[in-house]
Amino acid sequence: MKGVVDPGSLPTEAVQILTPDGTIAPDADRAIDLKEEDLREIYRLMVLTRRCDEESTNLQRQGELGVYCPCLGQEAAQIGSAYALEPTDWIFPSYRELGPALLRGIDPADILHMFRGTWHGGTWDFRKHRFAPYCVPVGTQPLHAAGFGIAAKLDRSDVVVIVYFGDGATSEGDFHEGCNFAGVWRAPVVFFCQNNQYAISLPTARQTAAPTIASKALGYGFPGVRVDGNDVLAVHAVTKEAVRRAREGGGPTLIEAMTFRMGPHSTADDPTRYRGAEEVESWKRLDPIHRFAAYLERESLLTGDFVARCAGEADEAAARLREAIVGAGPPPAEQLFEHVYAVRPPVLERQLERLRRLQARGGEG
Amino acid sequence: MPTITLAQALNEALRHSMRKDPRVIVLGEDVGRLGGVFRITDKLQQEFGEDRVLDTPLAESGIVGASVGLAIYGFKPVAEMQFDGFTYPAFEEIVSHCAKFRSRTRGILPLPIVIRIPYGGGIGAVEHHSESPEAYFAHTAGLKVVSPSNPADAFSLLVESIEDPDPVIFLEPKRRYWIRAEVDLPVANGLPLGRARVAREGTDATIITYGPCVRTAEEAAEEAAADGVSCEVIDLRSLVPLDLETVKASVRKTGRAVVVHEAQVTGGFGAELAARIMEDDFLSLQAPVLRVGGYDIPYPPAKLEDLYLPDLDRVLDAVDAVLNY
Ligand SMILES: Cc1ncc(C[n+]2csc(CCOP(=O)(O)OP(=O)(O)O)c2C)c(N)n1
């Protein structure tokens, strides 16, 4: 009917290249635009991510971290998307993006310092890695990405920015504003939603009445695409398209990667209170690393030697991570007063003096 | 008498209010099926159903803004903010609407909304989970600001906040959720909302505080007593309304006052207390009112938070200072 927009008419199926058993989907309409060494590198990064993630959870269970937010099960969504970027592009994470961080060469210990409580936001060099601090207030960082994208556009730079967030984040007002700003300026932004089916206890169906999260893009005047988030090749392909469009001046894209948080929301969470074992089991069968490994094997790209090397390297990284984190102390208390303002005001000088006196006394006593 | 935690007392207060008044509904993130991340709404959805315990989308402005509409319709919403630091997206709805509707509509559309906020530090959390935003709200005319320090008050103050005709910011001292006390429910003959409590009687100095720091102040008073110093501890229970009479009566007796809170001192509620005491009772003061609170820095990472939180040492230091002025 004239003037009517019908949510029922929107597509809900996801782009797929690999079926869960690792064969090429019969209706795959995206080519695999990756060289053999890229495919191996993607595999390596996925394995590394899983191993470091597992070690982080262990470290929390052993009391070395206050809390941790695992990304188990989301490796394809994270690595497939970040791999589509140029090293000069910027990444704005939420608090679960271990994969993209590792891809950018960030030392995972620099992430865990935040979860250990030695410093906020992460301790990597944000400019060097072009990777913004971890962002805890849900849904706020899409606006930062929009602003960054607008800046790139105003500066006639060809930098693209990707922002990661969850299904829950799409309910926040800031998410809407971020998409709208980016849309109005046709800014080079890729909005990447990992729809891992839950925002803590709330399933996505209760988060939004929209047929898909991807369909929300229509309201902002740019394309949206739903992709099988456990299919690393499909994720890479759609992100690559979005990045290219952004770089060529075509504006933003909203990608919805359908995946599953296999672990708890955070180590403080008990998921058995809100989801059944069957659901978890059904997603286990869709494991992103197994799927990709099956494909690589079929293509004779995965020798036993390479698999062992990746596993060994991941174990070593996990061991280094453990070594860096166990017992790590915070910086001296002065640091707390150091960067509140560019120039420390007198009131902070006085307070720091008082703190030093108390500490000195504590040391004696 | 049964022993319950502060968290359980809040849960019981919600249950009690919901049983009594069908207009009371609870809404927030993860409050239904999960029972809230601190389990304050545990099993409420089971008892009252999904129409009275609403798991909302992840949007704090949405939760409070929708509460405004629900209240205009005739419900009594009890909204949960998951953590103090996530109240800020709702700031506009709280300050621009919750606080001002009664006045704007000359009393035609009051908003009996309770906004529950687990607040304060000391639980080893990541950033944004340890804030003390009470001064923002106390500064905003039209809002009541309440903070219990113990299980009995948690029950009675929450029940009264829900019955209150005005919007109430209800600050729950999250690091005290697990403290226990013997409480007979429902709490009867408690002090009404708006009255402070003398948590401990004393004659030499008055420690004025609220929420999580009441415990700290009581422990400090205990320690001071061992040194022969008698401290009176006032638990405000609500910042707005402020029971200045109880505060002044104590200060007139002791002549010395120390205010303690976790929030940073600059622009904090302690400044308000110091000013009020000075304005009304300047001549009964033997020493300036001192404040013990957070430093003027963002709340520190977990491993450094003990340096930030007022502890016995810092409270006793201030007590010494007002005594030796
Ligand atoms: C503004 C804000 N509100 C609430 C929270 C508490 N919280 C942390 S994560 C989370 C759920 C997020 O779900 P989603 O966006 O789907 O991402 P996921 O955690 O599943 O990756 C909530 C409610 C927060 N961090 N920030």
Average pLDDT in the B288-296 region?
Answer: 98
Which pLDDT does position A363 carry in this prediction?
A: 59
Q: Region B179-205: what's the mean pLDDT?
A: 94
Q: Does residue B192 lie within any of the structural domains?
A: no
- A104 shares its domain with A239: yes
Nearest chain B residue to A269, by CA: B37
Q: Are residues A316 and A190 in the same domain?
A: yes
Is A265 assigned a catalytic role? yes
Taking only the tens place, the pLDDT of each residue in A17-66 is 999 999 999 999 999 989 999 999 999 999 999 999 999 999 999 999 99
Of A172, A348, A358, the CB nearest to B58: A172
Same domain, B62 and B155: yes
The answer to whether residue B1 scores a pLDDT higher than 90 is no
State which amino acid sits at residue B34. L
**Hey, what's the torsion of the CAs at B116, B121, B125, B129, to 10 degrees?**
40
Beta bridge partners of B180: B5
Mean pLDDT (chain A) is 97
Evaluate whether residue B65 is within a structural domain. yes
Q: What is the pLDDT of residues B24-38, one digit of tens each?
A: 999 999 999 999 999
- Is 0.80 surpassed by the pTM of this model? yes
Q: Does A364 have pLDDT greater than 90?
A: no
Strands (E), B121-223: 144-146, 168-173, 180-182, 197-200, 205-209
Structure tokens at A86: 């140029």
Residue B188 in domain = no
Same domain, B9 and B157: yes
Residue B20 domain boundaries: 3-182
Atom of ligand 1 nearest to the CA of A266: 19
Task: Indicate which CATH number applies to the domain containing B245.
Answer: 3.40.50.920
Residues B164, B222 within the same domain: no
Ligand 1 pocket residue status of B62, Cβ below 6 Å: no
Residue A203, chain B, CB below 8 Å: the answer is: no
**Residue A168 and residue B304: Cβ atoms within 8 Å?**
no
Same domain as A238, residue A274 = yes
* Ligand 1 centre distance from Cα of residue A190 (Å): 20
Ligand 1 near A229 CB (within 6 A) = no
| Phi, psi of B192, deg, nearest 5 | -75, 160
Is B58's CB within 8 Å of A273's CB?
no
CA gap B286, B284 in Å, rounded: 6
Percent of chain A clearing pLDDT 90 (strictly above):
96
**Distant-in-sequence, close-in-space partners of B288: CB < 8 Å, separation ≥ 6:** B274, B322, B325
Residue A136 Cβ inside 6 Å of ligand 1? The answer reads yes
What pLDDT, on a 0 to 100 scale, did the predictor assign at position B190?
82
* HSE-CB for A359 with a 13 A CA cutoff: 13
Ligand 1, atom 6: closest residue by C-alpha: B82
Chain B residue closest in CA terms to A207: B57
- Tell me, yes or no, whether B203 and B172 share the same domain: no
pLDDT tens per residue, range B93-132: 999 999 999 999 999 999 999 999 999 999 999 999 999 9
Q: What is the CATH number of the domain that holds B40?
A: 3.40.50.970
Whether B202 and B317 map to the same domain: the answer is yes
Calculate mean pLDDT across residues A223-239. 98
Relative to the CA of A195, which ligand 1 atom is closest? 16
What is the number of structural domains in chain B?
A: 2
- Co-location of A190 and A73 in the same domain: yes
Q: Do B176 and B205 reside in the same domain of the chain?
A: no
What single letter denotes the amino acid at residue B129? H
User: In angstroms, what separates the C-alpha of A259 from chain B's closest C-alpha?
Assistant: 19
Q: Which of residues 22-61 of A touch B (CB under 8 A)?
A: none
From the list B118, B133, B145, the residue with the least C-alpha distance to B238 is B145
For residue A201, pLDDT beyond 60: yes
Residues A109 and A73 in one domain: yes
Which residue type is seen at B159? V
Ligand 1 within 6 A of A200 CB? yes
Instruction: Give me the CATH number covering residue A200.
Output: 3.40.50.970
Given B125, B155, B182, the domain boundary residue is B182
Residue B230 within any structural domain of the chain: yes
Backbone phi and psi for residue A68, each to the nearest 5 degrees, phi listed first: -150, 145
Which among A167, A175, A200 is the best mutation to test ligand 1's pocket, defined by most ligand atoms within 8 Å of the CB? A200
Q: Is B82 in the pocket of ligand 1 (CB under 6 A)?
A: yes
Asked whether B111 and B98 are in contact (CB, 8 A), the reply is: yes
Q: Which atom of ligand 1 is nearest to the CA of A207?
A: 16
Q: Check pocket membership of A137 for ligand 1, CB cut-off 6 A.
A: yes
Listed in sequence order, the residues at least 6 apart from A343 whose beta carbon sits closer than 8 Å to its beta carbon are none
Sequence-separated (6 or more) residues with CB below 8 Å from residue A18: A24, A25, A228, A231, A232, A233, A234, A291, A292, A295
Q: How many CB atoms lie within 10 A of CB A139?
A: 25
Chain B residue numbers touching A171 (CB-CB < 8 A): 57-59, 62
Judge: A274–B302 Cβ closer than 8 Å, yes or no: no
pLDDT confidence tier of residue A365, bands split at 50, 70 and 90: very low
Counted domains in chain A = 2
Same domain flag for B75 and B13: yes
ipTM: 0.96
Reduce the DSSP state of residue B37 to 3 states and report it: coil
What percent of chain B clears pLDDT 90, i.e. is strictly above it? 98
Residues A50 and A131 in one domain: yes
- Which tens digits make up the pLDDT trace of A292-345? 999 999 999 999 999 999 999 999 999 999 999 999 999 999 999 999 999 999
Hey, is the C-beta of A169 within 8 angstroms of any chain B C-beta? yes
Same-domain check for residues A84 and A224: yes
Beta bridge partners of A179: none
Using an 8 Å CB-CB cutoff, list chain B residues near A348: 295-297
> Is B30 close to A358, i.e. CB distance below 8 A?
no
Which residues, listed in sequence order, are joined to residue B259 by a DSSP beta bridge?
B208, B291
Give, rounded to a whole angstrom, the gap between the first and last alpha carbons of chain B: 45
Element (H, E) at A225: strand A224-228
Say yes or no: CB of residue A168 within 6 Å of ligand 1: yes
* Positions of B marked active-site: 129
List the domain range (segments joined by +) for residue A152. 7-331
Judge whether B189 lies within some domain: no
Instruction: Indicate the DSSP class of residue B129.
Output: S
| Residue whose token pair is 């690792």 | A22
A171 closest CB neighbour out of B62, B129, B301: B62
Specify whether B209 is located in the same domain as B161. no
- Among candidates A67, A208, A330 on the partner chain, residue whose Cβ is nearest the Cβ of B303: A330
Give a yes or no: residue B312 inside a domain: yes
- Asked if B113 and B71 touch (Cβ cutoff 8 Å), the reply is yes
Which residue's alpha carbon is at the smallest distance from atom 18 of ligand 1?
A166
Closest by Cβ to A355, choosing from B128, B298, B307: B307
Chain centroid to Cα A301, Å, comes to: 27
Q: Six-digit token pair at A27? A: 């209706």
Assigned domain for B162 exists:
yes
Question: Given CB atoms, is A108 within the 8 Å cutoff of chain B?
Answer: no
Q: Do A348 and B300 touch (CB under 8 A)?
A: no
Are residues A245 and A107 both part of a single domain?
yes
DSSP strand pairing (A161-166 vs B168-173): unpaired
Same-domain pairing of B127 and B228:
no
Q: What is the pLDDT of residue A77?
A: 98
Same-domain pairing of B201 and B115: no
3-state secondary structure B207-226: EEECCCHHHHHHHHHHHHHH
Query: At residue A196, does pLDDT exceed 90?
Result: yes
User: Are residues A234 and A343 both part of a single domain?
Assistant: no
Inter-chain contact B57–A200, Cβ cutoff 8 Å? no
- Residues A215 and A95 occupy one common structural domain: yes
With an 8 Å Cβ cutoff, the interface of chain B facing chain A consists of: 29-30, 32-35, 37, 55, 57-59, 61-62, 85-86, 88-89, 124-129, 266, 295-298, 300-305, 307-308, 313-314, 317
CA of B36 to the centre of ligand 1 (A): 13
A118 vs B: CB within 8 A: yes
Residue A112 falls within a domain, yes or no?
yes
DSSP state of A131: B
Same domain, A121 and A216: yes
- Contact residues on chain B for A138, CB-CB shorter than 8 A: 58, 86
Residues A57 and A167 in one domain: yes
A138 Cβ below 6 A of ligand 1:
yes
Q: For B317, which residue in chain A has the nearest alpha carbon?
A: A358
End residue of a domain, out of B182, B207, B239: B182
Statement to judge: residues B65 and B14 lie in one domain: yes
For A104-131, the pLDDT digits (tens) are: 999 999 999 999 999 999 999 999 999 9
How far apart are the CA of A6 and the centre of ligand 1, in A? Answer: 30
- Which of chain B's residues have a Cβ under 8 Å away from the Cβ of A273? 33-35
Q: Is B308 exposed, middle or buried (0-12, 13-18, 19+ CB in 10 A)?
A: buried
Which of A115, A135, A138, A207 best tests ligand 1's pocket when mutated (most atoms within 8 Å of CB)? A138
Tell me if residue B81 falls in helix, strand or coil: coil
Q: Is residue B97 part of a domain?
A: yes
- The reply to whether A1 falls in a domain is no
Side-chain half-sphere exposure of B236, counting CA atoms within 13 A? 28
Q: How far apart are CA B46 and CA B27, in angstroms?
A: 14
Spatial distance between the Cα atoms of A83 and A42, rounded to a whole number of angstroms: 8
Where does a domain end: B182, B209, B240? B182
Clarify whether residues B29 and B162 are in a common domain. yes
Tokens of B149: 């320090």
Q: How far is the CA of B302 from the centre of ligand 1 (A)?
A: 20
> Are A171 and B127 inside 8 Å of each other by CB?
no
